Chains A and B, each alone.
Chain A
Amino acid sequence: MIQAFANPARFLSFSAWAWPFAGVAALILFAIGAPWALVFSPGDYQQGESVRIMYVHVPAAWWALGIYAFMGGASFVSLIWRHALADVAARAAAPIGAFYAGLCLVTGSLWGAPTWGTWWVWDARLTSMLILFLTYLGYLALHAAIDDEERAGRLAAVLCLAGLINLPIVHYSVEWWSTLHQGASLLRDGGAAIHPSMLGPLLTMAGAYAAAFAALLLANMRADVFRRRVEAARLRRARAS
């Protein structure tokens, strides 16, 4: 499995058809999911029409976490097996994950204003999503700050794994911290069972986000592999002349 992706040439021939395929899948899923979620699905009897933001917000939250877990896996592979493509994958996934995390924060805030009566609540979910967003930014900044790409990738991988340990600690810390403040009213949006009529559009949107991630990831990785090849070729030519 790892060996199969170790070879950049094999990756390029696989991704050449895989990334447009995933891109078309994302477009189709969005074309189905977006009208379904935003127009045809029922409004919530409590939250009214604002519940539709959830179809944008919840998949963004899922995949912001999912992409970070993916980066953690790629970083682990890059550190243990010194796999160049794993590093490329982690780096290519980071901006997409940061975008999903930012989208989750913005849409959550837009939803909170009419529903909770406030734009922001310091509960465990929101706080850990904010920390996750900052962790993404830190990862990207560290990668950008170090000139030697191999070293940048491996240092960012160490940071990514440390962040992977930190995130659950932050999450449970905020939860315990909230319970320490007895007086504060706790807002929990979990618990309530989701109505089946909402599940269809939600899962379609989640599928669309996943396909979009796959397409962008592969396209980013291809761009990165090509860029490295061009640089290597230039270096060779400069030495030959």
Chain B
Amino acid sequence: MILALHDLALARGGRVLFENLNLRVAAGEFGVIRGRNGAGKTSLLRAIAGWLRPHAGRIAFADGVDASSSLHVIGHGDGLKGGLGVGAHVAYWAGLLGGERASVARALDQVGLAALADLPARILSRGQARRLALARLIVAPRPIWLLDEPAAGLDGDGKALLDAMIGAHCAAGGVALAALHEALGPNPDHVVQLG
């Protein structure tokens, strides 16, 4: 077991989103979270990251796993600065999240942005910006990926890229939890239906 939710309940603004959620995710497994808007998909991922306090129940990690060294979060915002270069973003994440500077070029190459490395991020399209955000997952290897609508804005090639990234991550023993609307990634080991 890498990650387990025990009788988890979350509340936002005095309203209980869901209760009694139980989940055990082992190494190499892929979990999908489904539910209508407002069902608490984002809240669940943020609670696992430690940014929301559970209303009830608890979230447990395996020994040696903690948010500041083991988690990646891809959220609604891409975390980009228009005035900063595409490559400079990846170098910044490598430093901030404890990755290797040497892997910056490889990460850019993998998400298909190597040719744009010297350009400022403000010229990126929405799909390219999302690809740049995904480069975080490569430049700083971390075992647990929390992905909140990661395919938003991606075109067909982008989705294929994300699909392959999740597949490779889980095949290498990593864990991915994704709030998804469409089918993506390998066959999920867990499906959490909220609301």
A complexed with B:
yes
Q: How far is the CA of A158 from the CA of B13 in the complex (A)?
A: 20
Q: How many A-B contacts if CB must be within 8 Å? A: 9
In the assembled complex, the CB of B38 is this many whole angstroms from the nearest CB of chain A, namely 11
- A91–B15 Cα gap in the complex (Å)? 23
Chain B residues with Cβ below 8 Å from A228 are 14
- Residues of chain A contacted by B14 (CB below 8 angstroms): 228, 231-232, 235
Q: What's the Cα separation between A228 and B13 when bound, in Å?
A: 11
- Chain A: how many interface residues by the 8 Å CB criterion? 7
Question: Chain B contacts of A235 at CB under 8 A?
Answer: 13-15
User: For A232, what are the chain B residues with a Cβ–Cβ distance below 8 Å?
Assistant: 14
Determine the residue in chain B with the shortest Cβ distance to A239. Answer: B15
Tell me, in angstroms, the Cα distance from A239 to B13 when the chains sit together: 13
For A82, the chain B residues whose CB sits under 8 A away are 53
Report Cα–Cα, A70/B15, bound state, in Å.
31
Scan A223-241; emit 1 where CB is below 8 A from any B CB, else 0.
0000010011001000100
- A148 contacts which chain B residues (CB < 8 A)? 13
CA distance A239 to B16 in the complex (A): 12
- Closest-by-CB residue of A relative to B13 is A148
Min CB–CB distance A235 → chain B (angstroms)? 6
CA distance in complex: A70, B9 (Å): 34
Mark out the residues of chain B between 2 and 25 whose CB falls within 8 Å of any chain A CB in the assembled complex: 13-15
The residue in chain B whose Cβ has the minimal distance to the Cβ of A82 is: B53
CA distance A239 to B38 in the complex (A): 12
Q: How far is the CA of A232 from the CA of B11 in the complex (A)?
A: 13
- Beta-carbon contacts of A203-241 to B below 8 Å, as 1s and 0s? 000000000000000000000000010011001000100
* Bound CA–CA A148/B53 (angstroms): 15
User: Which residue of A has the minimal Cβ distance to B15?
Assistant: A235
Q: How far is the CB of B118 from chain A (nearest CB, A)?
A: 39
Bound state CA distance, A235 and B15, in angstroms? 8
Q: Which residue of A lies closest to B53 (CB)?
A: A82
Residues of A within 8 A of B53 (CB): 82
Interface readout for B21-58 with A: 1 if CB under 8 Å, 0 if not?
Answer: 00000000000000000000000000000000100000
A142-161 contacts to B, CB under 8 A, are 148
- Shortest beta-carbon distance from B117 to chain A in Å: 38
Give Cα A148 to B13, complex, Å. Answer: 7
Expressed in whole angstroms, the minimum distance between the Cβ of A135 and any Cβ of chain B is 28
Distance in angstroms from A211 CB to nearest chain B CB is: 33
Distance (whole angstroms) from the CB of A151 to the closest CB of chain B: 10
Hey, what's the 0/1 contact readout for A53-91 against B, CB within 8 Å counting as 1? 000000000000000000000000000001000000000
Which residues of the partner chain B approach A231 to less than 8 Å between Cβ atoms? 14
Q: In the assembled complex, how far is the CB of residue A153 from the closest CB belonging to chain B, in whole angstroms?
A: 13
Kindly state the separation between the CA atoms of A84 and B157 in the bound complex, as whole angstroms: 49
Q: Which residue of A lies closest to B12 (CB)?
A: A148
A28 and B53 CA atoms in complex are apart in Å by 47
Q: Which residue of B lies closest to A228 (CB)?
A: B14
Instruction: Give CA–CA (A189, B195) in the complex, Å.
Output: 66
- In the complex, A174 Cα to B15 Cα: how many Å? 49
Least Cβ distance of A152 to chain B in Å?
12
State the Cβ distance, A157 to closest chain B Cβ, in Å: 16
CA distance A231 to B15 in the complex (A): 11
With both chains docked as a complex, state the minimum distance between the C-beta of A209 and any C-beta of chain B, in angstroms.
35
Chain B's closest residue to A149 (CB) is B13
Q: Name A residues whose Cβ lies closer than 8 Å to a Cβ of B.
A: 82, 148, 228, 231-232, 235, 239
Identify 5 residue pairs between A and B in the complex whose beta-carbon atoms are under 8 Å apart, listed by A's number: A148-B13, A231-B14, A232-B14, A235-B15, A239-B15
In the A-B complex, the 7 residue pairs with the smallest Cβ-Cβ separation, listed nearest first, are A232-B14, A235-B15, A235-B14, A148-B13, A239-B15, A228-B14, A231-B14
Could you list 5 further interchain pairs (A-B, Cβ under 8 angstroms) beyond the known A148-B13, A235-B13?
Answer: A82-B53, A228-B14, A231-B14, A235-B14, A239-B15
